[in-house]
Amino acid sequence: MKSLIVLLILFLFLIIRPIHGEAKILINEFLIDPQPQQVELINIGSDSADVSGWYLDDSGGTAYYTIPQSSVIYPNSCLVFSGDFNLNKTSADSLRLFNNLFSPTSSSPQLIDSFSYKSSSGSGISYLRIPDGENLWSTSTANLGLFNSTMTSCLITPTIIITQSPTLTTAPALIPEVGLNSTVTPQPTPTIYSEIYINEVMVSPESGDKEWIEIYNNNDFDVFLVDWFIDDLENAGSSPKVFFLEIGAKSYGVFDLPSSIFNNDGDTTRLLDFNKNLKDDFEYSKSEQGKTLGRTSFESDDFCLQEPSKNSTNNPCINPTPTLITPSPTEKIIFPLITKNIPSDIPAAKNNNFDVSIHRSVNYPIGIAQGNLNKNNILGVTDKTIINSSSNKSLIDLLCFLSFFYSLLAIVSILIKSKILKYIKYDVILA
């Protein structure tokens, strides 16, 4: 009887007591070289964790990285942080993760996880756990934001709703933090956006540097590009590279490619959303090491060779401005390198010396409706014919010489003809 009562009490205790899950946050992968350094944290627990205000630090010193607000890691998912974590490239060092109770320089910081290494793994090579979240560390080509075992995305975020305003609305949720409950604003899930454009691409970086692509958000609100892709030729070339970017309204975001995918002697750059739908693209036929291919303006779909301007307004074109050819009313409009649809009333223009073919997924410049394109505001084109270029001058000199020679022949012909007529007239009189 006594044992039956004990079993009944134990059963009631198991039913009544609340069952609490637990989050477990670990360093899963980190990239030392090149800058910016990157760290991937993974949650292998059963509860979400708000890691806002946590700290990432190396083996010592006074500088450390503070994780931004609204950084929530959901169960069996990850977050990736970029910055300068002071990790040594040429000597031994450690990467350490602390919670937000005390800073790393305090007398009693609370260490969550750490990993020590003897030397840098090399440019583009990460230290990472294989399998994810386990104690076995290895080195491999960087794939931050992906599970190391399956190479599928480990970035998971909740749903976001876009209204027509457009205003972003998110439903706040009670997120249990490790050791503390708090209400936070969650990050968004993959969302369909328009007005997202390729702005500048580094396809031929200097030795040791990485390819990168700059993306512009032309919306009046922030966007969260979750599980979007950068790719080259469709169904050919390298595999698409997945990325996660938060870009402010009318602002730029940069994705550093973990490995090279673009050809220096011509290729296609494509921006795909999380469903791998094409959002923007362009083609180029050549490149120059250390220079980028950038948009000429946000009122044009043209790209040209530029000095790099990462995360800021693009620099001017390195090549000369193209010269205008004024067509006759019946002359056809021909753009040899530009393969997008252009209204037929825009004058044809020569290409500049740097051959960059363009193919865009949109037909008209950003913010300009079809039929309202200002044909007097075409970048790099003037309404005055320029005749002082070397090619035009040679043609004009040739035409002048031919005209002079023709006139000289006409005068000589007239003189000879006059003399012959005079002799004929004289012979007639004598006769």
- DSSP letters of 141-156? E--TTB-TTT--B---
Q: Tell me which residue has tokens 């363009």.
A: 358
**Pair (86, 136) in one structural domain:** yes
| Helix, strand or coil, per DSSP, at residue 213 | strand
Q: Is 371 left (phi over 0), alpha (psi -120 to 50) or beta?
A: left
| Helix, strand or coil, per DSSP, at residue 199 | strand
Mark which of 189, 221, 247 sits at the end of a domain. Answer: 189
pLDDT in tens, 392-429: 566 777 777 777 777 888 887 777 776 665 655 555 45
Q: Are 378 and 314 in contact (CB under 8 A)?
A: no
Q: What is the signed CA dihedral for 265, 270, 271, 273, rounded to 10 degrees?
A: -150
∠ CA 266-271-273 to the nearest 5 degrees? Answer: 155
pLDDT the model gives residue 211: 92
What's the average model confidence in pLDDT over 217-223?
A: 90
Number of structural domains the chain divides into: 2
- Domain-located, residue 40: yes
Q: Are 69 and 61 in contact (CB under 8 A)?
A: no
Q: Which residue stretches of 268-389 are H helix?
A: none
Give pTM, 2 decimals.
Answer: 0.38
**Pair (324, 338) in one structural domain:** yes
Output Rg (C-alpha) for the chain, integer angstroms.
34
**Pair (173, 204) in one structural domain:** no
pLDDT in tens, 291-306: 999 888 777 778 889 9
- Domain-located, residue 326: yes
**Pair (124, 148) in one structural domain:** yes
Longest dimension (CA), the chain: 167
Which DSSP helix (H) or strand (E) runs through 56?
strand 55-57
Paired residues of 168 in beta bridges = 162
Q: pLDDT-derived band of residue 258, with 50, 70 and 90 as boundaries?
A: confident
**Pair (233, 350) in one structural domain:** yes
Range of the domain at 163: 21-189
**Predicted confidence (pLDDT) at residue 79 exceeds the cutoff of 90:** yes
Query: Rounded distance, CA 46 to CA 44, Å?
Result: 7
| Helix, strand or coil, per DSSP, at residue 365 | coil
More reliable by pLDDT, 54 or 312: 54
CATH of the domain at 79: 2.60.40.1260
Q: Could you tell me which of 202, 182, 179 has the C-alpha nearest to residue 254?
A: 202
**Pair (212, 329) in one structural domain:** yes
**Predicted confidence (pLDDT) at residue 40 exceeds the cutoff of 90:** yes
**Pair (273, 349) in one structural domain:** yes
Query: Rounded distance, CA 25 to CA 48, Å?
Result: 10
**Pair (39, 150) in one structural domain:** yes
Token readout for 65 is: 């990285």
Mark which of 127, 155, 189 sits at the end of a domain. Answer: 189
Token readout for 408 is: 């000289």
- Domain-located, residue 63: yes
- Domain-located, residue 357: yes
**Pair (170, 112) in one structural domain:** yes
142-156, 216-230, 336-350, 388-402: the lowest-pLDDT one: 336-350
Q: Tell me which residue has tokens 């027509």.
A: 164
**Pair (216, 361) in one structural domain:** yes
pLDDT the model gives residue 261: 87
- Domain-located, residue 271: yes
- Domain-located, residue 403: no
- CA distances in angstroms from 218 to 50, 115, 116, 163, 279, listed in the order given: 30, 41, 42, 17, 13
Mark which of 161, 189, 217 sits at the end of a domain. Answer: 189
Q: Are 100 and 177 in contact (CB under 8 A)?
A: no
- CA distances in angstroms from 232 to 73, 144, 243, 282, 295, listed in the order given: 31, 20, 15, 10, 18
- Domain-located, residue 149: yes
Quick count: other Cβ atoms within 10 Å of Cβ 269?
23
**Pair (89, 140) in one structural domain:** yes
Q: Tell me which residue has tokens 């002071």.
A: 86
pLDDT in tens, 331-360: 434 334 433 443 444 343 334 444 454 444
Token readout for 42 is: 């993974």
- Domain-located, residue 414: no
**Pair (129, 221) in one structural domain:** no
